[in-house]
Structure 1
Amino acid sequence: MPSPLVSHVGFLSPGSYPDDDPAGGLERTLRLFELGESLGFDSAWVRQRHLEPGISAAAVFLAAASQRTRHIQLGTAVIPIGYESPYRLAEDLATVDVLSRGRLNVGLSAGTPPHAELLAPLVFDGDWRSNDFSHARVQRLADNLRGHYLGASDSLIDIPGGRIRPRLQPYAKGLVERLWYGGGSLRSVEWAGRNGFNLLMGNVTTGEGTDDFFEAQTRQLETYRAASARPRIALGRVIVPTDSADGTTRRRYADYAASRHARTLAPNGPRRTLYAADLVGPSDQILERLAADPVLAGVGEFRLELPYAFAQHDYEQILTDFIQRIAPELGWARTAIAA
């Protein structure tokens, strides 16, 4: 088994819904967060996707989740910063963190955002191709969350309640320390470490000088640790335990894994994208495969990534089997919550 170093387990939900029932789908994801908290998961995360029937505004969704849960940490994995105003997004995220009483974790990514040819003309004025989509945009968001006052030391603004020194409101103390970067290359993980961001690693990465997924990700892990003064890493893997599933469901899970296997055999596309194989099967077999994962041995936080397009009862079964049968074997123990 892997060394018993995993002290934190979370899960990542795709947050998808039928195109004709967004309210029902979002409600089911909220209920999944409630279930995750009751099972003892330490954190629950959502993806942010534009132009898809899923969560397009992670901050708004997590504001709702903050009122449906009490203890579980809430996260975004990840928000593509390209479409966002670093100041306005900082206001939204700070508001969610205050509403959740300091439970928010923010995952971010830089670069030209997805579907730019379609979406960017609707977001930006003028020629969007001249916009800065670099890591600097992520750094601006972080700087906005630090709570620094704006202007000179004697700068004041008039508000209905009097005169105050201006700064971003609300100020969410500690949120800047819970910013994560979704790194998938040596350059991005080095930048994240050097600039004080926590690191999210997942089931997809870039093959730089290797066709082996685990070798590529191990190099990234080493690069991040060398660059970071206080490294904090969370690792994600797609895991589908079958222990309490019925026979029909197990066959469907196996078909799902088989349909995605070919992409794991070689680098994909011009960016040489590498995929880790999905871990599907009985918990004892999944644990054997996790024991051979060299990246897991070097991290203390683990994130179960739920597949797309599964039914609600599938997600409930997967979360339950994982937390009961797999997480404890990784060294995890449920945190006692004060009444």
Structure 2
Amino acid sequence: MPLPDRRLDLGFLTFVPDHGGPGGPAAALRDGLRLVQHAEGLGYDSAWVRVRHHEPFLSSPMTFFAAASQVTDRIHLGTGVIPMRYEDPVRLAEDAATVDLLSGGRLELGLSNGIPPLAASLDVIHGASPRGFAGEAQHRLEVLRAAIAGQPLARAAAQYMDVPAGGELVVTPHAAGLSDRLWYGAGSERTAVRAGEQGFDLQVSTLNTEETGEAFDVVQARQIRSYRKAFAGAGHEGRRRARASIGRIVLPFLDARDEQVHHDFVEGYRAGMTDDGRPTGDSPFPVRYSPILSGDPDSIVERLLADAALPETDGLVIVLPAEGDVTAHERVLTIVAERVAPHLGWTAA
């Protein structure tokens, strides 16, 4: 399938995993920073992190990015994604603005509602809401957007420090431009359309939460087209251009050692689903997973060029396994930059 005549942005996504190795969680975080620096050296455009609460992965992306902003100069730093149902939107706005200012305007804030099946467990920690799961998440999302945009959130009932009674309360610091770098992680055409109507940029990754019987990439291509139509229909194109990115698990092998390093992950991933990405076990909602693109670089290039969603996007995000050490992940990023991405319309930044 021909690709558009445009430069493709290249990013990667990491869980910043803590596998309990020597050095513990501190070493895992330092490895995450090392990976971001390595990618910047290769010319990657963006580094994205998964956000996972109550699991051995990164749970505090803004503090991590505050550190990353001080050891990098150019690469953009993004979340993929922050589940807003369990976030304090005002505190997140303050942290995000601080990181954006420290980084020189490099924050890409990826957001989502979250995962509904987890609500019963996490409501015990974060509190239930009369708005329901999606309603509460969308409410917090709107508060976050208003806060980041510098809109008044309330008026002071009495003198509050330097704010007089009746004065407007806004989030500080204000990071000009951050409100134009908000992404939404959609898993269905419905949520992609809503993201377009709301004026977000769009992330689609390795999970579709709708089942149409069609191939994974075909469904995502339609999601992106519907998103762009909704974005334009809502009048946002007069303000800025819509952006969309796709995530793919890419594991290029140059030798038997590369294949062996990722063998357990590849086999475990494939064992949990059918050949077309349907889970083999029970799932609480309709779901389809993307395949792993592994093997020699030329075959991966061929498969990506045949991916129906890639021509619809502005960026490709290489999704690294949750497993594996930093050396193995650095090698994946290196081979992709040298042997795969240049054939897809990417040039090193």
* TM-score, length of structure 2 as denominator length: 0.87
**In the alignment, which residue of structure 2 is the partner of 1:95?**
98
**In the alignment, which residue of structure 1 is the partner of 2:293?**
279
Distance in 2 separating the partners of 1:113 and 1:88? 23
Distance in 1 separating the partners of 2:164 and 2:73? 35
**In the alignment, which residue of structure 2 is the partner of 1:169?**
172
Q: Does 1:237 align with 2:248?
A: yes
Counterpart amino acid of 1:139? E
Where do residues 135-214 of structure 1 align in structure 2 (5 Å cutoff)?
135-151=138-154, 158-159=160-161, 166-214=169-217
Where do residues 1-339 of structure 1 align in structure 2 (5 Å cutoff)?
2-3=2-3, 5-19=6-20, 21-111=24-114, 115-124=118-127, 127-128=128-129, 132-151=135-154, 158-159=160-161, 166-229=169-232, 230-243=241-254, 246-262=255-271, 263=273, 264-265=275-276, 267-268=278-279, 269-335=283-349
**1:241–1:318: 8 Å Cα contact kept in structure 2?**
yes
Give RMSD over aligned pairs. 2.5
**2:262–2:324: 8 Å Cα contact kept in structure 1?**
no
Choose 99-108 or 141-150, whichever is displaced more: 141-150
Counterpart amino acid of 1:11? F
Instruction: State the aligned residue count.
Output: 330
Counterpart amino acid of 1:17? D
The residue matched to 2:288 in structure 1 has which SS?
A: strand
**1:189–1:223: 8 Å Cα contact kept in structure 2?**
yes
* Residue segments in structure 2 that go unaligned for 5+ positions in a row: 233-240
1:71-105 C-alpha deviation (Å, 9 max, x unpaired): 11000000000111111111111111111111000
The residue matched to 1:108 in structure 2 has which SS?
A: strand
Give how far 1:112 is off: 5.2
1:43-87 C-alpha deviation (Å, 9 max, x unpaired): 101110011111111111111111111111000000000111111
Distance in 2 separating the partners of 1:2 and 1:203? 22
**1:2–1:290: 8 Å Cα contact kept in structure 2?**
no
Distance in 2 separating the partners of 1:208 and 1:107? 24
Counterpart amino acid of 1:8? D
* TM-score, length of structure 1 as denominator length: 0.89
Counterpart amino acid of 2:194? W
Distance in 2 separating the partners of 1:101 and 1:114? 37
Distance in 2 separating the partners of 1:137 and 1:333? 38
**2:87–2:140: 8 Å Cα contact kept in structure 1?**
no
The residue matched to 1:105 in structure 2 has which SS?
A: strand
- TM-aligned CA distance change 1:213 to 1:161, over 3 Å: closer
Choose 134-143 or 102-111, whichever is displaced more: 134-143
- TM-aligned CA distance change 1:129 to 1:314, over 3 Å: farther
Give how far 1:215 is off: 2.4
